Structure 1
Amino acid sequence: MSGFPADFLWGGAVAANQVEGGVREGGKGLSTADIFPLSEREKGGCFDRTWDQILEAAEDRNDSGYPKRRGIDFYHRYREDIALFHEMGFKSFRFSMSWSRIFPNGDDEQPNAEGIKFYHDVVDELKKYGIEPIVTLSHFEMPLNLTLKYNGWTDRRVISFFEKFAAVLFEEFHNDIRYWITFNEIDATIHIPLTGAGIVKEHTENLEQSCYQALHHQFVASALVTKLAHEKYPELKIGCMTTKNLKYPATCKPEDCIQWLQETEVDAFYTDVQVFGEYSYTVRKLWERKQIEIQEEPEDARILKENTVDFVSFSYYASLVTSAEGAKKEKASANLLVGEKNPYLKQTPWGWQIDPVGLRFALNQMYSRYKLPLFVAENGLGTLDVLEDGRIHDSYRIEYIREHIHQMELAIEDGVLVLGYTYWGCIDCISASTSEMSKRYGFIYVDQDDQGNGTLKRIRKDSFNWYKNVIASNGEIL
């Protein structure tokens, strides 16, 4: 007997900037994601650009050098892709509605009708198959103009532009979309400022100060959007989302445990503000030590306190270790962070440590802290897939997901309330960090290489039918 509730939202997740393409179609404007070229993996990805590189990319109409501009052509193939999701039995599909497709410049007076129509068509297709849409408002694709003109979220005026964007989507889709997430991995603003908040380093006097200021503006924007939804569309559920940067103390040495506690508290604050409606003493003290002074308007404290989220979602891919002597230890990667390597864990070819038990740990830790429904919005294995005789035999991916789902089930048996699980990159897409196609996550193989060559044919991997059986059995058959 499965431990998953009968209404558990099994599904998959993507982001508009990694799948849609159609960058010059339907009135879309360029987004921050559209300026990143293919990056060499060993150089650490492509989350940053200089001002000159940004201007050059903005003016470059040769889109072939910018993989996210082509995506996997979901813009034209969404019906085919959604039919495949239905074949797998998806109960839900998490995706983003590109801000620059609705407001091409971000600060436009009127929304783009063609962009709205596209998303109506996508939602109608999902509803036809009974798939619950879960929409992220901002997923690393803010209009590029807001970076060029305002230096992204460092400017408080961007709050009103985001409110306007959300208001249009709520008005258009409130009858069809129940679950909304305001910002994807909101902590990215600190870790990757250009991608997370449209911040150009050269245009800041103190980058860290600017990042925390931008983050404050995002928190206020999220609260105001939540307020709008709760007052005008009370049936909607608004959630926050963060990277779950799970860490373990290296030893039981008290100094290591203190280091772990302090880092864990700082990592949690991105969600704390949106759940509790205030900044913790830990973060206030951090700012004091770093001499960071956040400009807060008199009404901000009330706005944050009165407009907290309905559920908490997060991405979980890997875990790290921390200690008081971390600088001397061997390093490993975990999504947006680099930390100490755990000798008990295997790694992906991209150096991310595989830790299924950590998902159970994370779910219990977060539910104990927030006491709100949780949603595993992203979890997945990005690795190299080899096409053999027209097939992909990805037993390694099946093993990865099986173990994570099993640990999620154990967390539910522990008493954690989990709404759903949307596997990241359910169809192969452009990598967020390096713009590669080689780093594949999907149940569905897309015939396209790093340079954009290929037929774009969709091919079911072995994991496709495996996940289909998982959903059909509500997690009983793993």
Structure 2
Amino acid sequence: MSVTHEFPKDFWWGAATSGPQSEGRFHKAHRSVFDYWFDTEPAAFFDGIGPNVASNFYNDYRADIALMKQIGLNSVRTSIQWTRLIKDFETGETDPDGVRFYNNVIDEFVRQGIRPVLNLHHFDLPVELYEKYGGWASKHVVDLFALFAKRCFELFGDRVKDWVTFNEPMVVVEGEYLYEFHYPKLVDGKQACQVLYNLNLASAKAIAEFRKSTCAQLGGRIGIVLNLTPAYPRSDQPEDVAAAKFAEDYKNNSFLDPAVHGYFTKDLVDVLKTDGVLWESTTEEIELIAKNTVDFLGINYYQPFRAQRREIPYDDAQGWLPEKHFQQYHMPGCRMNPYRGWEIYPKAIYDIAIHVRDHLSNIPWYISENGMGVEGEERFRNADGFIEDDYRIDFIKEHLQWLHKAMQEGSNCFGYHLWTPIDCWSWSNAYKNRYGLIALDLVTQEKTIKKSGLWMHDVIQNHGF
């Protein structure tokens, strides 16, 4: 292979998944909000498929990790399920089977020469904590999360060096409290803002526990994974620019600035205060957030966000929503992934990388998710039973070209993870769209490497393409 886009020899080439999306519910001590939602409303899930089996990683983890190794992945992110590891949320008492399982998974990753990156929360709040306390709207739940994090560091910190507090916390805010695509499907802007603050506080408290742990003393590090949707204005008119600025502050900077700089974006705080929806906080909490910033950033990038000034007056009768200050702009002629309704705009990965370089102290960071979900992927399976997903190869290549350019210009990126290693269960979409380098047959649970997996193997072997 002739390499025109060369990456560092120690670059992370990997993929990301999560516990609730891969493991199945086998022997879990408790139900998450998604387990509960499926049990009570199975018709809300595509084809009625819930998280009970998922990709059967609980039973197949050794063979699954071997397939990841066959592709050549040198790092993989997954998550520890709070509902699997902890028996008693108030005391932090652990469940023996959960401890056994995660020990075995970590040991298998290490044995096969794959760096495990462990995330502590991937949308899977224990439903008991929602029913009892109101979930992430409760600061008591924040404290229980810090206790869960402490147990994880104690149990696994001798082997796991890379930790993540949250994956895409903004999705919790938007899905559960604004736009009704995750249980409990509320529309409550003021509560959404409190949840946004509490998630930042929970991340900082988990980081504080990490700093005290032997894991930190052994050279470990901790970060957060944020889904960034760079906000581009429709035009250079001041009203459009201002609309995009608020969208950027709310959707992206509300987690970026506290995580990296230790403080909330002043413009955002001023607007939320004026609108009467600013969160409740204490001086001690603000100081804790300031002192417990991340060691690295994971950035999930799938699509941009395009904003314009409001042309339809905002209806205050619906309560506060971020859209009070912008409207989404649908740019004519843009490329789309029709299966997700998402714009394909690879250059944004470059814009993100330069923003990290210039405005986020050039903190070490990596692409923690990027990928293309395709519905009905079976139609691309050839006579030999092999999925020829050239569209995915093209998608990855375009994004890596822009990432490579940014790295050449000094952005401190150390890796690229695709979503996902093996086709996984995806919340209410279930298996509607497939993202994996490895195909999953839902009936037989057979797993086979796709053409994109073979292409990725060559990229890894050659440190580029």
Q: CA deviation at 1:295?
A: 2.0
| Candidates 331, 352, 360, aligned match of 1:370 | 360
* Alignment-mate amino acid for residue 299 of structure 1: E
CA distance in 1, matches of 2:293, 2:181: 21
Q: Which residue, out of 218, 222, 236, partners 2:220?
A: 236
Number of the residue aligned with 2:330: 341
Shift of 1:346: 1.4
Q: Which of 211, 233, 254 is the aligned partner of 1:269?
A: 254
The amino acid across from 2:22 in the alignment is: V
CA distance in 1 between counterparts of 2:349 and 2:80 reads 28
Greater CA deviation, 302-311 or 424-433?
424-433
The 5 A counterparts of 1:279-318 are 279-318=264-303
Q: Please state if 1:155 is matched with 2:142.
A: no
Matched, 1:416 2:411: yes
Q: Offset of 1:259 from its aligned partner?
A: 2.0
Secondary structure in 2 aligned to 1:472? helix
Classify 1:99/1:183 alpha carbon distance in 2 versus 1 (closer, same or farther; 3 Å): same
Q: Report deviation, 1:9.
A: 0.7
Query: Residue 443 in 1 paired to residue 434 in 2?
Result: no
SS at match of 2:432: coil
Letter in 2 for 1:191: E
Could you say which residue in structure 2 is the equivalent of 1:138? 121
Quickly say closer, same or farther: Cα 1:474–1:327, change in 2 above 3 A. farther
TM-score (norm 1): 0.86
Distance 1:299 1:351 in 2: 43
TM-score w.r.t. the length of structure 2 is 0.88
CA distance in structure 2 between the partners assigned to 1:197 and 1:346 by the alignment: 24
1:175 aligns with 2:125: no
Match of 2:347 in 1: 357
The answer as to whether partners of 2:260 and 2:293 remain within 8 angstroms in 1 is: yes
Distance in 2 (alpha carbons) for counterparts of 1:366 and 1:326:
32
- Residue 320 of structure 1 deviates from its aligned partner by 2.7
Distance change >3 Å, CA 242–CA 20, structure 1 → 2: same
Corresponding residue to 2:424 among 414, 424, 429: 429
Gaps of 5+ in 1: 38-53, 329-336, 449-453
Rounded Cα–Cα distance in structure 1 between residues aligned with 2:181 and 2:138 = 10
Q: 1:428 to 1:327 in 2, by over 3 A?
A: farther
C-alpha contact 2:357 2:410 (8 A) present in aligned 1: no
SS at match of 1:445: strand
Instruction: Choose the corresponding residue for 1:14, options 7, 11, 17.
Output: 17
CA spacing shift, 1:274–1:13, aligned 2, 3 Å: same
Cα displacement string for residues 118-151 of structure 1 (whole angstroms, at most 9, x for unaligned residues): 0111111110111111111000111111111111
Partner of 2:236: 252
Q: Is the 8 A contact 1:144 1:198 kept in 2?
A: no
| Aligned AA (2:150) | A
Distance 2:91 2:424 in 1: 29
- What's the counterpart of residue 318 of structure 2? none
The answer as to whether partners of 1:230 and 1:236 remain within 8 angstroms in 2 is no
Distance 1:94 1:66 in 2: 24
Contact in 1 for aligned 2:34/2:183 (Cα 8 Å): no
Question: Are residues 108 and 143 of structure 1, via their aligned partners in 2, closer, same or farther at CA, if it must alter by over 3 Å?
Answer: farther
Aligned length in residues: 436
Please tell me the residue identity of whatever aligns with 2:198. Answer: H
Gaps of 5+ in 2: 314-325
Task: State the distance in 1 between where 2:271 and 2:238 align.
Answer: 21
- 2:166 counterpart of 1:188: no
Q: Secondary structure at the match of 1:68?
A: coil
Which letter does structure 2 place at the counterpart of 1:32?
Answer: V
Asked if 1:388 is matched to 2:379, the reply is: no
Residue-by-residue CA offset, 1:324-374 (whole Å, 9 max, x unaligned): 25659xxxxxxxx99322334311122111111111111112332212111
Residues of 2 paired with 1:401 and 1:280: CA distance? 32
Please say if residues 378 and 421 of structure 1, whose CA atoms lie closer than 8 Å, have aligned partners that are also in contact.
Answer: yes
Question: Offset of 1:109 from its aligned partner?
Answer: 4.6
Aligned CA-pair RMSD: 2.5
Mean Cα displacement is larger for which, 359-368 or 77-86? 359-368
Residue 395 of structure 2, aligned match among 400, 409, 417: 400
- In structure 1, distance between residues paired with 2:162 and 2:123: 19
Cα 1:153–1:320, aligned 2, differ >3 Å: closer, same or farther? closer
Partner of 2:84: 101
Distance of 1:315 and 1:458 partners within structure 2 = 25
Show the counterpart of 1:459.
Answer: 448
Deviations 1:218-274 (A, max 9, x none): 222211211221233232211122110112221222322222223222331211112
SS in 2 for 1:240: strand
| Residue 323 in structure 1 maps to residue 295 in structure 2 | no
Shift of 1:429: 0.8
Pick aligned residue for 1:379 from 370, 379, 388: 370
